[in-house]
Amino acid sequence: MPLVHISLRSGKSDAYRQAIFDGVYHAMRGALETPEDNQFMAITEHTSANFRFGASYLDIARSEDLVFIQITLNNTRSSEQKKALFQRIVEQLGDKPQIRSEDVFINLIEVEKENWSLGNGIAQYA
């Protein structure tokens, strides 16, 4: 049950943002075997004054097109699945909307399964 928060600089087209949604979703379906239609994602856009990053931290040359992708998910995935997810997201977003791999910053937040309520006040996975 991934919950995806995506942050980027403002000014990108609707098609660009939709391509990010699609790419992340397809990467999760492949690498994490996320069920079909398990799409819970939000994009937040920021002005340059409200979007800060290390342009060369760890010798990675980031640009103003940097995208932060934070995914909250169950703590049931292996290290191999996580690495595959990172790679698939970069590949998907490199293809469309053509984001450089250096500009894809991904963070996973793992939680216990009982920490979700997907509606109706019920802990569906508990």
Active-site residues, by number, are: 2
Buried b (16+ CB within 10 A) or exposed e, 66-77: bbbbebbbbeeb
What distance in Å separates the CA atoms of residue 46 and residue 52, rounded to the nearest whole number?
A: 10
The answer to whether the beta carbons of residues 10 and 45 sit under 8 Å apart is: yes
